[in-house]
Amino acid sequence: MTKRKTNSKNETQKIKDLEQHTEYSADQFLTTNQGLPVNDNQNTLKAGDRGPSLLEDFIMREKITHFDHERIPERIVHARGSAAHGFFELYKPMGKYTKAGFLNDTKQVTPVFVRFSTVAGSRGSTDLARDVRGFSVKFYTQEGNYDLVGNNMPVFFIQDAMKFPDLIHAVKPEPNNEMPQAASAHDTFWDFISLMPESAHMIMWLMSDRAIPRSYRMMEGFGVHTFRFINEQGKSHFVKFHWKPLLGVHSLAWDEAQNLSGKDPDFHRRDLWNAIDSGNFPQWELGVQLIDEKDEHKFEFDLLDPTKLIPEELVPVQIIGKMTLNRNPDNFFAETEQVAFHPGHLVPGIDFTNDPLLQGRLFSYTDTQLSRLGSPNFHEIPINRPIVPIHNNQRDGHMRQMINKGNTSYEPNSLGGGCPFQAMLKKSGFASFFERIDSKKIRNRSKSFLDHFGQATLFYNSQSLYEKKHLTNALRFELGKVKSVEIRQRMVNILTQIDKVLAEDVAKCLGLKAMTPEQPINHSVPADANPKDYQSKKVKSSVEVSNALSMETTIKNTIQTRQVAFLTAPGFNDVSLTRMKKALEAAGAVVKIIAPALGNVKSASGKNFPVDESYLTSASVCFDAVFIPAGKASTEDLKANADAIHFINEAYKHCKAIAADNEGVDVLRISYIGVNKKDTGESGIITFSPKNSSLEKEFIRAIANHRAWERETERKVPA
């Protein structure tokens, strides 16, 4: 068992003790939960061989009762998720900004547990839904647990927590028929969104390819809200948190995501598990954008508005540390399902702002754990326990684990020697930022939150051509699934506020005309206000294009962990296969041999190669790239194999890198690719010819480029 990497032996032992792992050895026998050895785990106690079962059978009843209660309520949102253990290392001390211990000591290695999730679907739903992805990190620090509960998108749909239940009711399956599962493409979602223009910016993100990541390991994470760092002197800086994946930010194609949903609905979960299992530990760097307290009002948007990001051109992201995930959970339920995150799990040196969405979250997460995990003692579940001891006067409750000694459970006390003392005495405890609040009690939406469209346009303008095209198609798809014409029209009208061409492109496909409304609607108007004073508006962003918002500019120099399918049939050329396999594996990719049947596949020279998948058990959507080795007999076989040809066509449609060696090129010829333009030239299609001796090198470059999206503009592929 790999362990969380920690800074001392003692600490590792502590973590191990907390985890209460149960491993079975040969000298252990089956027992009941009371420790009674069980002789027969096959038969109920009966009155005679063929007689009725006896109620007396406490062993059977204990087993069945436990089974009957195995399920707990799934999370109301983010129900579908998977997680891993790892550690965080700090690059540089941040004492100037925060007194948080784990952000000051570069020698300290902080254990973490990270859970990725989709938002809308149930626990058993597909990983591949078009959705926001949750990105929750629990840092087990020396000052208690710190949870950074973020998403893979830096903004949110709504500005005030009061609207969260409405948003979630709208996106979840419709209540009359419980359809559709894990999908936003239905009437209630777009009804709500079309009446909530504050969601315009987030909708751009949700319709972009960010909502269909290639892998959890290839997506960014964001704290979303503006938080505060506080240093030893009590000085505060505003801070936005970013996680930047070292493998770059990459996405799937929408058609591919839909196919994968059927072929492998656990695709993201499996990908994370396999990567860690094979020692390819995913890594992210932690970045912060820091804003001086005095600059709070210098932006054209409000720092407290969670529908806004701070363009990196205005405030650069400083990279301060790195997170590595190096251990899969031992037990999904005990760890991934029972982990309880909470934006209110803070450490000294980090604090909230008054973002009204964040403020509401501070209530919701404890409340939800009570109903989901069933007890205020959820912090005692091993995965939720801090690595530092807990001392307080809280007692009892369902499933209490801690055995508190002594007769005092109150403070102040003299009988218990006054223990436990307030941490104030050693000046290391948590203190909220000393913020001046002097105001009237009101239910209001700040007018500084009314710019609903400025950053939606910034996001759209920052996308590359193909990203814009994907975004437009996603809107066409989603709104095309909406039955109500009024809702579609209202949505198209909102799009006119973001970009006229986008609105018209979407409208055309829906059989509508894009119309700019005279008065943009806004339903988030305080009850006693004049709606005219609260109209949605568009404030032009001072940054017109932000490179960081496009995936086009991401890291594209590695093929680490990329999955490459080798399409084979008996009689392939083993030199060709082995040469490519070696080159790809040396660059960090994973090669899988596909053949007509499982077992072994024989090369032309009679060598046996073990087969990983057959054409029946796998599909191109499970891979990043495809290679067809040389070989006369195998080529003839593949040309007659409809599944192999479909494999190639589909990979081509999804703009993947495809390479073929020598005779293998003939297989491409009869596929939709057709290889006619002097056998090469099309982006991401690499074929061997006497002139092209650098097949491996070019293929590696094409895979690292992730996808040749530009191919989409050339022609439609009917795979």
Catalytic sites, residue numbers: 78, 151
CA distance 413 to 216: 50
**Residue span binding ligand HDD (CB under 6 A) among the ranges 184-192, 364-372, 505-513, 596-604:** 364-372
Run of H or E including 577: helix 574-586
Which C-beta is closer to ligand HDD: that of 162 or that of 423? 162
Query: Is the distance from CB of 616 to CB of 595 less than 8 angstroms?
Result: no
Determine if 136 is a binding residue for ligand HDD (CB under 6 A).
Answer: yes
Query: Pick from 217, 320, 316, 209: which is nearest to 271 by CA?
Result: 217
Determine if 672 is a binding residue for ligand HDD (CB under 6 A).
Answer: no
Q: Scan residues 162-181 and list those touching ligand HDD (CB under 6 A).
A: 164
Determine if 655 is a binding residue for ligand HDD (CB under 6 A).
Answer: no
Fill in the amino acid letter for 359. Answer: Q
Which C-beta is closer to ligand HDD: that of 150 or that of 173? 150
**Site size toward ligand HDD, by CB under 6 A:** 27
Q: Which of 15, 59, 77, 591 binds ligand HDD (CB under 6 A)?
A: 77
Alpha helix stretches (DSSP H) within 79-186? 164-171
Determine if 664 is a binding residue for ligand HDD (CB under 6 A).
Answer: no
Which C-beta is closer to ligand HDD: that of 171 or that of 626? 171
Q: Min. distance of Cβ 344 from ligand HDD in angstroms?
A: 11
Q: Which of 6, 108, 117, 126 binds ligand HDD (CB under 6 A)?
A: 117
Determine if 81 is a binding residue for ligand HDD (CB under 6 A).
Answer: yes
Which tokens is 88 given?
Answer: 């965080």
Which C-beta is closer to ligand HDD: that of 137 or that of 458? 137
Alpha helix stretches (DSSP H) within 200-349? 200-207, 254-263, 267-277
Determine if 365 is a binding residue for ligand HDD (CB under 6 A).
Answer: yes
Q: What is the CA radius of gyration of the chain?
A: 29
Q: Which of 186, 361, 538, 706 binds ligand HDD (CB under 6 A)?
A: 361
Q: Min. distance of Cβ 228 from ligand HDD in angstroms?
A: 16
CA distance 236 to 550: 31
Which C-beta is closer to ligand HDD: that of 101 or that of 306? 306
Using CB atoms within 10 A of its CB, is residue 212 exposed (0-12), middle (13-18) or buried (19+)?
buried
CA distance 154 to 378: 29
CA distance 241 to 335: 25
Using CB atoms within 10 A of its CB, is residue 131 exposed (0-12), middle (13-18) or buried (19+)?
buried
**Residue span binding ligand HDD (CB under 6 A) among the ranges 147-155, 209-217, 250-258, 572-580:** 147-155
CA distance 356 to 648: 50
**Residue span binding ligand HDD (CB under 6 A) among the ranges 190-198, 272-280, 333-341, 454-462:** 333-341
Fill in the amino acid letter for 647. Answer: F
SS (H, E, C) 392-451: CCCCCCCCCCCCCCCCCCCCCCCCCCCCCCCHHHHCCCCCCCCCCCCCCCCCCCCHHHCE
Name the β-bridge partners of 117. Answer: 81, 134
x-marked contacts with ligand HDD along 209-248 as a string, rule CB under 6 A: ---------------xx-----------------------
Q: Which of 192, 227, 241, 341 binds ligand HDD (CB under 6 A)?
A: 341
Q: Scan residues 301-320 and list those touching ligand HDD (CB under 6 A).
A: 306
**Which residues bind to ligand HDD, rule: CB under 6 A?**
75-78, 81, 115, 117, 134, 136, 149-151, 156, 161, 164, 224-225, 306, 339-341, 357, 360-361, 364-365, 368
